[in-house]
Structure 1
Amino acid sequence: MKEKIDILVTIDENYLNPLQVMLTSIYLNNQNDIFKIWLIHQSIPQEKLDSLNKQATRFNWEFEAVVVDESLFDNAKTVDRYPKEMYFRLLAGQILPEKLKKVLYLDPDILIINPLRPLWEVDLKGNMLTASTHAGVTSLINGVNNIRLGTDHDYYNSGIMIMDLDMLRAVVKIEDINDVIENYNAVLILPDQDILNFLYGNFILSVPEEIWNYDARKYTSYLTRSLGKEDIHWVAKNTAILHFCGQPKPWDEKNDTKFTALYENYRMLTNNYI
């Protein structure tokens, strides 16, 4: 029997609908796997949690919502740029049950269009996380972020990550996060992602972005960088995760990418399961 795949999401109630679309896309493209969905949150109303649980039940999955213990953030810096939700994925090891050893963290603004199990079964090789870079046509962005943050490794997108929770529990400390906020506030553009890279970039195993974290805005960049190989047919066959980074989001009528219509199709399909 295959090992169940544990999925972690951390949202507020404003992202409930995108999350449900994402879950539908997992279900439709991973029919041979069973999932448990873990939701870390602070104040999502029970009726909305019930809606997620209903959807998971339709899929024959498990669903568990974990309300964050306020005491965990007694010393957290939570000014406007750093709401408590920023800490949830960074501190997932402390928040989730100790019996849980590994999760696949997913942002809600994604579609799953091929099986996730190959990512779930990746050998972390002693690393704490898997993540992908968004390099563009060249790797210039890595150099820019190395200068900005004073790092010497690739700059990773934090939207899709396999997490070794025992290692997170041993390595990630809220005091270290606070120190970075205190001392580097002026250079932090995407606070939780920047902090992840600054503190823990050397604990990350890189996985191919074109498969596991495809930036849906950048179809032309992928096509150019691959010398025409990674066309729409290649994406349909090989890419597992489409990530709708930036603004506008695919549920916004102003969004217009190569994959907007695909997202709209999954959004309509979701109505069959909620």
Structure 2
Amino acid sequence: MATPIDILVTLDAGYVPPLKVMLWSLHANNLKRSFHVWLVHESLTDAQVAEVRALTDGLGWELTALPVEVDLTDQPALIKRYPPAMYFRLLCGQVLPADVHRVIYLDPDILVINDVTPLWELDLQGNMLAAAAHRGVTKLVDSVNQIRLGTNTSYFNSGVLVIDVDQARRNIHLNDITAAIAAYHDYLILPDQDILNFLYGESILEIDEEVWNYDTRKYLVYQTRTLTEHDIHWVMSHTVLLHYCGTPKPWEANSDSKFTGLFLNYQQQVQRFLSVPAPTEA
């Protein structure tokens, strides 16, 4: 089997159940690949980590849980109001072992529905990161965010990232992040994503959102942009990462979107898998 793909996840306790669904979907659609999951967190209990480990062990994957404490004692109140875990994906270079050189970061509210290998093998062309930009029918959202943040790049979504960890170790530091928050906090709407774009937008290679970070709220937008070519059949054949952005989330009772049923099916599958008793030795 090929060398494991390194997957980075950062989350709090509320996202442990959807994380397990995401990891199961990753397994189900990448049966010939193995993965090493790096779980970076601030406050998960041993029992919550054990929940995730029960799944990764069952799949034959490695799981490394890395609890991180960020000391914000000397920072102003406006910095302290943002949970440090929000920035763990960007600070992974300061957390992951030196022999980890590349990771794919995935939000836990994602389904993997096709092969992730091309993303893992992506040529970053010297860039530190790769990410997708979520746009509407036009590029108006880019223009608005360029004015708001004073940038000249696309406005990238932080839910899926390919990270050159060696570059991140050299170039991404907590002090830069806290300084940017202190200086521009009045302009931050989505703080972690805004900081990603403000500080590191020029080091990001853009990847196709409809393949690598498909916003499930925007099915009709994508169809309009492609003159209905990218219908549900196209999505199931070509899209790799479905991202359940916004609310309601697909595991919530009031969710009833085109993609809710798909999530619920994977949720049932992982629940059934985890409920099967481990075989006993003869």
**Same topology, TM > 0.5:** yes
CA distance in 2, matches of 1:77, 1:145: 26
Which residue of the partner structure matches residue 191 of structure 1?
191
Q: Does 1:177 align with 2:177?
A: yes
Which residue of the partner structure matches residue 155 of structure 1?
155
Tell me the alpha carbon deviations over residues 107-154 of structure 1, each in whole angstroms, 9 at most, x when there is no partner.
000100001001000000000011000011111100000010000000
Letter matched to residue 180 of structure 2: V
Structure 1 residue 78: deviation in Å?
6.5
CA distance in 1, matches of 2:128, 2:3: 20
Structure 1 residue 273: deviation in Å?
2.7
Q: Does 1:142 align with 2:134?
A: no
Q: Number of residue pairs matched? A: 273
- The answer as to whether partners of 1:26 and 1:112 remain within 8 angstroms in 2 is yes
| Closer/same/farther in 2, CA of residues 45 and 193 from structure 1, 3 Å limit | same
| Closer/same/farther in 2, CA of residues 258 and 148 from structure 1, 3 Å limit | same
Letter matched to residue 179 of structure 1: A
CA distance in 1, matches of 2:200, 2:2: 31
- The answer as to whether partners of 1:78 and 1:84 remain within 8 angstroms in 2 is no
CA distance in 1, matches of 2:70, 2:236: 43
Which residue of the partner structure matches residue 225 of structure 2?
225
Structure 1 residue 87: deviation in Å?
2.0
Q: Give unmatched runs, 5+ long, in structure 2.
A: 275-282
Q: TM-score, normalised by structure 1?
A: 0.96
CA distance in 1, matches of 2:232, 2:42: 39
Q: What is the root-mean-square deviation of aligned Cα atoms in Å?
A: 1.3
Structure 1 residue 3: deviation in Å?
2.5
What secondary structure does 2:131 align onto?
A: strand
Which residue of the partner structure matches residue 261 of structure 2?
261
Letter matched to residue 94 of structure 2: Q
Which residue of the partner structure matches residue 83 of structure 1?
83
Which residue of the partner structure matches residue 247 of structure 2?
247
Structure 1 residue 54: deviation in Å?
1.1
Structure 1 residue 74: deviation in Å?
5.2
- The answer as to whether partners of 2:103 and 2:162 remain within 8 angstroms in 1 is yes
Identity within the alignment, %: 49
CA distance in 2, matches of 1:34, 1:74: 40
Superposed counterparts of 1:91-106, under 5 Å? 91-106=91-106
Letter matched to residue 67 of structure 2: V
What secondary structure does 2:88 align onto?
A: helix
- The answer as to whether partners of 2:70 and 2:84 remain within 8 angstroms in 1 is no
Structure 1 residue 69: deviation in Å?
3.9
- The answer as to whether partners of 2:2 and 2:33 remain within 8 angstroms in 1 is yes
What secondary structure does 2:217 align onto?
A: coil
Letter matched to residue 213 of structure 1: N
Structure 1 segments (4+ residues) deviating >3 Å: 73-81
- The answer as to whether partners of 1:76 and 1:174 remain within 8 angstroms in 2 is no
CA distance in 2, matches of 1:83, 1:267: 28
CA distance in 2, matches of 1:273, 1:45: 23
Q: Give unmatched runs, 5+ long, in structure 1.
A: none
- The answer as to whether partners of 2:214 and 2:239 remain within 8 angstroms in 1 is yes
